[in-house]
Structure 1
């Protein structure tokens, strides 16, 4: 498998993997981010599903030189031992009162309430990336039996800490915002606190385990 590197302005470049959602590919993204961010002249890395944005100081690193170093690091990635990822347990209220779309998810999947909860809590999820809202974690992979489409008409306001599913992913709304994912519970732990340092409970590459309460 090869990566592609493209300039992203004068102070950044974008590393591209094959464009698909994959825990294995995303693991490579985070492994490369951890490695590259330690290099001199690199000012920061922003990982996503299958891309990595690398920001650098143009007086300390040249684009062609940095690109060559990244390609070499990727070729040697298999011999690098990744740092163990952190696992975070998040308690969730899955009661019907806290899950406005649970009945719809049950209808779409043909599962009983307890089966939806059991499937959602038995999986350990990877934090693919943060985005959309401050601290919103895109988590996966979701068990295939729980795959559901987004709502045909998005809500104008999703309650904060709503645990939601859509397609092959799950996530947590950190604040109230419009959204179209199916809501199946409410997290009992804040994932975003602007007064905290760091403000986000989770970071890309973490693992998440939901616990029913």
Structure 2
């Protein structure tokens, strides 16, 4: 996950609408920038600053929402700047409570029909692509686009492949797609410009539960290669056969 990259970007604080502030840690996605966004968002939540109502990380930023009737923009900015100088956020420990999750995944076959195309773009054989993707341990960098839908990375440089130039009309819930050194795991059926390389039985969005999003930013995931017959066993299991352990 590019842990050895030297980070030279200075964090930037910008207003975002009438009640928001965006704290940005990079102008491109890197492991340190994502680490900083996750760690800083967790620190803001722990700080319990009166007037700040929410803080959510994205790929390289943390969005802070505040009550403008209680706390002005200048005051919010000052408090966030004070927090920024407390430590090197690019090397900060990731938030506690993270999990490592092994998710059974079918690569290729009619369930994930674009594996061979993606492998070719990445300069690999299909077998090499399955080995590369299924052995990768990736981080949930952010949740977005659809309820509970994670962006995960970073994959090796070989997977710095572009999105398609046309949309796939629909991929199913549980579809694993790949582009620009990232996985996206679909929480709902949707069109996509990313190549569909794997299929899981994991149900990511569970609105009937107290914690409706199964994955959280900072979780680590490995998409383990299994056969279609194995995946078929998990159709009634919302965890899709996943093995879950705490990261300590």
TM > 0.5 fold call? yes
Show the 5 A alignment for 1:25-174. 25-38=33-46, 39=48, 40-78=50-88, 81-84=93-96, 85-174=98-187
Question: Do the aligned partners of 1:89 and 1:211 also contact (CA within 8 Å) in 2?
Answer: yes
TM-superposition CA deviations, 1:183-205 (whole Å, max 9, x none):
11101221122222211111122
5+ residue gaps in structure 2? Answer: 1-8, 227-248
Shift of 1:150: 1.4
1: CA distance, partners of 2:158 / 2:195: 14
Shift of 1:86: 2.3
Shift of 1:24: 0.9
1: CA distance, partners of 2:119 / 2:60: 31
1: CA distance, partners of 2:215 / 2:94: 18
TM-superposition CA deviations, 1:105-125 (whole Å, max 9, x none):
232233222211111122211
Please state if 1:21 is matched with 2:34.
no
Question: Do the aligned partners of 1:120 and 1:143 also contact (CA within 8 Å) in 2?
Answer: no
Shift of 1:182: 0.6
1: CA distance, partners of 2:11 / 2:119: 40
In the other structure, the counterpart of 2:232 is: none
After TM superposition, the score normalised by the length of structure 1 is: 0.91
5+ residue gaps in structure 1? Answer: none
Which deviates more, 165-174 or 91-100? Answer: 91-100
Aligned residues: 213
Question: Do the aligned partners of 2:94 and 2:218 also contact (CA within 8 Å) in 1?
Answer: no
Question: Do the aligned partners of 1:119 and 1:146 also contact (CA within 8 Å) in 2?
Answer: no
2: CA distance, partners of 1:8 / 1:151: 31
Shift of 1:169: 1.0
TM-superposition CA deviations, 1:62-94 (whole Å, max 9, x none):
322221221121111239654343222211111
After TM superposition, the score normalised by the length of structure 2 is: 0.79
